[in-house]
Chains A and B, each alone.
Chain A
């Protein structure tokens, strides 16, 4: 079973602070995705990382895929209240089948 563990589970910070969310596994993934989910809505894809060591930036969000492709991180610079939400990492099941396994999630709250 491929498990994706996220930490921290909950994070409450003030506007302007920086934060990092981690997604770790003992399994190797061909790629990892990051989603953000707001209350009452489904998850929305933010980014896909596919190469070990890859770094992708999306405005104030920086995503990194570990060299061994077993872990990933999401760093947010100068967090804003609009960043509040549930952040989920996900990776494809071994053997394909176009299925994803999701991490346990990190609930982020950014306060004024």
Chain B
């Protein structure tokens, strides 16, 4: 395993509530990523980080924010969850150079 832990693994919440997902790594890798996975869309990048306090938007960033105050933790926040954000969320990490991305096991989020 690549030393990635996502929490929680499952969450059900209501529209309008704030939600925070956590990605924790033990590999000391520089790059961290948040994706969402929906049927027919593969994986789509939400936000990524290239270092502590250094983050940037991906292709589907609206409605999401991220923070990285420590190398090992990358948080994804839905400020006010909507039903369209029901999805499976994956975190990935990557070292420098040509190293590939390694993925966590995902968080299944349902917004009712």
Given contacts A102-B43, A103-B42, contact A45 B100 (CB under 8 A): yes
Chain A contacts for B35, CB-based, 8 A: 102
CA distance A45 to B48 in the complex (A): 19
Knowing A98-B94, A104-B42, A105-B42, say if A42 contacts B56 (CB, 8 Å).
no
Name B's A-contacting residues (CB within 8 A).
4, 31, 33, 35, 40-45, 48, 50, 56, 58-59, 90, 92, 94, 100-106
* Chain B min CB distance to A66 (Å): 19
Number of A residues with CB within 8 Å of any CB on chain B = 23
B101 touches A100 (CB 8 A): yes
A80 to chain B: closest CB distance in Å?
A: 24
The answer to the question of A56 belonging to the interface, with a C-beta cut-off of 8 Å to chain B, is no
- Residues of A1-48 contacting chain B, CB below 8 A: 1, 4, 6, 9, 33, 40-45, 48
Q: Does A82 contact B (CB under 8 A)?
A: no
Q: How far is the CA of A103 from the CA of B41 in the complex (A)?
A: 7
State whether B103 touches A44 (Cβ < 8 A): yes
Q: List 6 A-B contacts (CB under 8 A).
A: A6-B42, A42-B105, A45-B102, A100-B45, A103-B42, A105-B42
Do B42 and A48 touch (CB < 8 A)? Answer: no
Residues of A within 8 A of B105 (CB): 40-42
